[in-house]
Amino acid sequence: MTMWGGRFQNSASQLFKLFNDSLSVDCQMVLQDIEGSIAWAEALTSVSVLDHDELESIVQGLHDIKESVILQPDQILQSQAEDIHSWVEQQLVAKIGSAGKKLHTGRSRNDQVVTDFKLWCREKASLLDSLLAQLIETIECKALEEAESTMPSYTHLQRAQPITFGFWLQAISAMLKKDRQRLALSSEINNQCPLGSGAIAGTAFAIDRHQLAEKLGFQNPTENALETVSDRDFVVDFLYSIATNMLHLSRACEDLIFFNSDEVGFIKLDDSVTSGSSLMPQKKNPDALELIRGKAATAISDLNALMITLKGLSLGYNKDLQQDKSVLFAAVESWQQCLLMFQQVISCITTCKEKMLASAQQSFVNATELADYMVSLGVPFRLAHEQTGQLVVFAEHKGKYLQELSLEDFHQVNADITEEVYQWLDVKHALTRREAFGGTAPARVRNASRSGDIEIGCAQAADAEEVIKLVDYWAKTGDNLPRTKNNVLTNLMSFKVAKNKQAKVVGCGSLHIYDDSLVEIRSLGVAPQSQGAGVGAALVLELMKQAAALGLTKVFVLTRKQTFFSHLGFELTSLDSLPEKVLKDCQYCLRKEACDEVAMIYHLVNH
């Protein structure tokens, strides 16, 4: 039975039903539809459309449907319902009777679907932001490892100036950080509740839409009912965030494919992210990177497709808008896969440091250094640039690089050049000179990966409440052991805290000493909004420094973040090798019955 059948004398054809129905797509929004329906039932009760008994019956019925769907999601597609809104209503009426037929009072599928869709987008945006944060953390950790891995940079695909692979990784990280900001801004701009807008002109019932918006976690209700039911800007914004990030990932993949080629050979991709050829036994193809690059094109076309659909629509609801969900659902799923895949690629890359360095040394990437050296002698830069170009041509004719020229060779162009020039021409020297903010100097790379906007220090009494909140947050997720407020306060001296520019605690971690050699890093946690900024790595490194200063030789962790700690130099170890007191603590873990933690250790004597 349809929600609109009263006007019609004949049934729709089977072909039209297949063409028109959207249940197979919008079934993904079932939980959001139930959430919105509960809020709407409460709003109807507030204006006496429903009595409290009816409200209780409706809410209980919707909760029962939710539990049933979670246990058996396939049941939805076995229905003949037109869409997910029809399905939920049909299920509710079947469960509680006529009271269920009152739920749609004052509500249209037009405002209902936009509400469901916005709730779905909010949930997915939060998930994807978390994946972006994890990817950035992985890249930043890798950048720390590769802070001194010297290689040439490229402009026009020609060798330009010496940089490090860590610096290249941070360039990718910088793009992804902006992508997180873009996604957050999109969520903020679209944080208005559509429910109560009706079909096009607003609801005729005196619903408090501000209260309704607050109930559903929105900042405000939408301002205009006509605009609300027409609005798909939030989908466009989401797709734009996806397309932009996929564009960034694609550019990174292009570089990595180039670096991995036999002709360049700067990196080696792990077997786990590559494939072979059915004919050529020697092949090891960078399929993961190529697929991400290919999927980026689809993401960009998805954005274009929706914008083309919207540009010709009049205000009000048009059935063309039904296409929005299939486009975004597929784009979100693809984006999630690409983020996870790219993280795996980065985490297991092997760098060929000697080949990188040789490629930088056996080139003219130090030409700018020669020009800068001449400037230090008092030569105007334009003249220094010209003289350096002349020396490059001279070196090419002799089959040499600049650092291989003799002093007599240099004097043919500039008689003031001294032996000091060879120090300037060393690519390592070129790196260390670029210590200005944003530069490629290894020290700058390390500082940036350890989050330059964050200060790490010992916890103070004034930090206690914020530390307790962080410890409690990650204990509730099961990622850390719970600690009482009194326990945290008693052991506050063992905590290090990370603070942002506003002096707010955004991360914490503590040491727990077991004997004169062994210490555990505990209660490590970063505020969700600060993930991906290198805070976690900075805290671990500071705690390790403290452990070394105390004369301890081994640091261990129990963790589910194996990749994160691997990048910081930790190695897997056996749980059986840990003190009995460690294993006793496991009894307080929320996941003790299904423990998926691994033990990892770092030997400070090798630090």
Q: What is the reported pLDDT for 549?
A: 86
* 370-446 CATH, one of 1.10.40.30, 3.10.310.10, 3.40.50.150, 3.60.15.10: 1.10.40.30
Task: Express each pLDDT in 17-39 by its tens digit.
Answer: 777 778 899 999 999 999 999 99
Q: Given the residues 48, 52, 98, 156, select the one marked as catalytic.
A: 156
Entry field: residues in the chain: 607
Predicted confidence at residue 531, as pLDDT, reads 79
Q: Would you state the structure tokens that stand for residue 309, as one six-digit string? A: 């659909």
- Tell me if residue 156 is catalytic: yes
Cβ pair 411, 417 in contact under 8 A: yes
**In angstroms, rounded to a whole number, what is the distance separating the alpha carbons of residues 380 and 377?**
9
Q: Do domains 5-102 and 120-193+223-357 have the same CATH topology?
A: no
Assess whether pLDDT exceeds 60 at residue 4.
no
Those residues with Cβ within 8 angstroms of residue 305's Cβ, 6 or more apart along the chain or in another chain: 323, 327
Give the model's pLDDT for residue 607. 40
CB 525 within 8 A of CB 496: no
pLDDT band at 516 (very low <50, low <70, confident <90, very high): confident
pLDDT grade for 449, boundaries at 50, 70 and 90: low
- Cβ partners under 8 Å of residue 141, min gap 6: 449, 537, 564, 567, 568
Residue 560, pLDDT > 60, answer yes
| Contact residues for 377 (Cβ-Cβ < 8 A; gap 6+) | 414, 416, 417
Q: What is the pLDDT of residue 400?
A: 96
- Confidence (pLDDT) at 40: 97
Q: How far is CA 428 from CA 69, 149, 437, 558, in A?
A: 61, 10, 18, 38
CA distance 196 to 220: 12
Grouping H, G, I as helix, E, B as strand and the rest as coil, residue 277 is coil
The pLDDT of residue 606 is 44
Q: What's residue 450's pLDDT?
A: 55
Specify which residues 413 forms β-bridges with.
none
Angle (nearest 5°) at CA 321 between 320 and 327: 105
State yes or no: is 250 an active-site residue.
no
Residues pairing with 150 in the sheet: 164
Catalytic, out of 272, 277, 301, 517: 277
271-322 confidence digits (pLDDT tens): 999 999 888 988 899 999 999 999 999 999 999 999 999 999 999 988 889 8
Q: Per-domain residue ranges for the chain?
A: 5-102, 120-193+223-357, 370-446, 454-606
The third-level CATH classification (topology) of the domain covering 5-102 is Fumarase C; Chain B, domain 1 (1.10.275)
Q: Which fold has domain 454-606?
A: Aminopeptidase (3.40.630)
Strands (E), 43-107: none
What CATH number is given for 120-193+223-357 in this structure?
Answer: 1.20.200.10
Share of the chain above pLDDT 70, in %: 94
